[in-house]
Structure 1
Amino acid sequence: MVGLDNNHLKDNLPEEMCHDLPLLEVFGVDDNQLEGSIPNLISNCTSLKRLYLDGNSFTEYGSKGVVSAKGDVYSYGILLMEMFTRKKPTDEMFVQGLSLKDWVRKSTPYSIINIIDVNLLHRKNQNTDNILCHISSVFDLALKCCNDLPEARLTMIDVAVSLKNIKALLMENARDIIS
């Protein structure tokens, strides 16, 4: 773990960070004066499980008046997960390297019955499997929104189209059940 919070660090994160620290699992630089963009090479940090960057001026997070749709789509993905699990990223269960995103990723698609908000599903319903299939699609969409690399995230237009398609399939299944 590397924790460099509140150290008055300035400039950009180094591109070589993951090359120099290949086994890095947790990296925290909250509340510094870092700016620019998050290095693309961060995707090479295959051991990295947690990255703390809050309180800096990275352009992706909308600082310096630059609004980023890629940051917004990430937040939307987290919101989808929150709505369907009834858990918040700050829930006390998310400790020791486990995050809401990791929990959903590990449960999709085969164990979503264990993470879904019980108020959304009547377990006695004969069509539970059909409904779970569509909810699994929503979780997949949320995870695509939350890709660690901003350029790999969906656009909000793609998200809206995907949600419309999921809704249409759900409505079609509902009509088939009623008929």
Structure 2
Amino acid sequence: MGESMPYTSPHFAFPAFTNSIMGLPRMSLWAIWSFLLLSSIHLPCFFVSAAHFSNETDLLPLLNFKHLITDDPLHSLSSWNHTLHFCHWQGVTCGGPRHPQRVTALNLTGQKLVGPISPYIANLTFLRIINFTGNSFYGAVPEEIGRLFRLRYLRLTNNTFTGEIPANLTHCFKLQVLRLTGNQLAGRIPTELGSLSKLTYLSLGRNSLAGSIPPSLGNLSSLWYLRLTENSLEGSIPDDLCQLVSLKILSIGLNKLSEYAMGGKASTQGDVYSYGILLLEMITGKGPTDDVFKDNLSLHHFAKMALVERLMEIVDPQLLLEEAEAIQGNENQINSRNRMHDCLISMVKIGVLCSAESPRKRMQMRDVVFEMHTIKDLYLGVKFHRDKQVRS
């Protein structure tokens, strides 16, 4: 019998592989297997971690937004850096079960930020809420916002935006709230806004808008709040607004509109209601759409329930602070404080009566004027005592 060949397992038949791997120092097969096994365990974790920090889809637009801010006195954007994931930055909200790392809301209200809004905000394609109320943003409202087809709330109130209202905001077909009050916007109200079928709240007051009220606004069947006050609008109020069956608040004063309302008949009931709501807003510092008002609780009922014992609990603290400073040093501080309390009670009562759900229960405008003059005289009495104290 010839000499038998020793048995060699096919898995160990590659001495070159065991001695050298592409020129690397010799490694035992056990070390190689161990390395590959550990790698197979940790590689998925590595890729997950890398993906967690490498999502630049939303990161870059946010950084560009910050780059254009010229003043941040409250350091609101100090957390906007690479040391923290952008979903944890101040004012940024991410969410969604399928896309947990996509930005869904930007809320920077009252941060005193100064600068233009970056057009790259349109790359935050999952945005549903933009709230930049109470800052000093300037320049044009970016037309690119019209690409945010998921957007539901756009609140840019009390800034210094100029230019015209972008007509392509109507591409945000899911938009429910559009608040542009308190800016320097000019031009006409875009006719295209009438195509926003889901819009419930439209506030364009305190701007420099001109032209007429577009009849197309009568197509906004879900609209319950329409504010166009303090502009330069002309012409008559379109009869088409009679189609707004959900409308509860119509505020169109301080324009150049003709004196006749819808259908050619004078109507003050809508303005009385709006006046009442506006008065309650000024006293409480709250708006009808604030989150606190849900489960059938409205601003009207909120104020009515506080009369009279709990009135001071609902008054805007800033308003109370200003009045406290005003009467400071008055030798009749208690008397002045009581007078001020009476003024607030009277004004809240007027706000509640004017905003009654039934038009028949609302005050007549002539009565509102008379009562407000009476309250003013009482308030001036407080001021008189204060001035007298200063002069003495």
TM-score range, shorter chain: 0.5 to 0.7
Deviations 1:109-137 (A, max 9, x none): 11111111111113585443321211110
| TM-score of the pair, normalised by structure 2 | 0.30
User: 2:272 aligned with 1:55, yes or no?
Assistant: no
Please name the residue that 2:381 is paired with.
Answer: 172
Question: Mind listing any 5+ residue stretches in structure 1 that lack a counterpart?
Answer: 1-5, 7-29, 33-53
Question: In the alignment, which residue of structure 2 is the partner of 1:115?
Answer: 314
Query: How far apart are 1:91 and its partner, in Å?
Result: 0.1
Aligned to 2:277: 78
1:97 aligns with 2:296: yes
Contact 1:121–1:128 under 8 Å retained in 2: no
Distance in 1 between residues matched to 2:353 and 2:281, nearest whole Å: 15
1:121 and 1:167 mapped to 2: Cα distance? Answer: 17
Cα pair 2:221 2:246 within 8 Å, conserved: no
Q: Where does the alignment leave 5 or more consecutive residues of structure 2 unmatched?
A: 1-196, 198-219, 223-242, 251-260
SS in 2 for 1:121: helix
Superimposed CA distance per residue, residues 89-148 of structure 1 (whole angstroms, 9 cap, x where no aligned partner): 000000111111111000011111111111111358544332121111000011111122
Q: Secondary structure of 1:89's match? A: coil
Matched-pair identity in %: 30
1:66 CA drift (Å): 4.9
Which has the larger Rg?
Answer: 2
Deviations 1:54-75 (A, max 9, x none): 93288x9765565520111011
* Greater relative CO, 1 or 2 (CA 8 Å, sep 6+): 1
Root mean square deviation of aligned Cα: 3.0
Closer, same or farther: CA 86–57 of 1 in aligned 2, 3 Å: closer
Q: How many residues are matched?
A: 129
Q: Is the 8 A contact 1:57 1:63 kept in 2?
A: no
Residue matched to 1:50? none
Name the CA shift for 1:79/1:86 in 2 (closer, same or farther; >3 Å): same
- 2:346 is the counterpart of 1:147: no
1:88 aligns with 2:287: yes
> 2:347 is matched with which residue?
138
2:54 aligns with none
The DSSP-based 3-state class of the residue aligned with 2:281 is helix
Match of residue 338 from structure 2: 129
User: 1:112 is matched by which residue type in structure 2?
Assistant: L
Q: TM-score, normalised by structure 1?
A: 0.61
More helix by share: 1
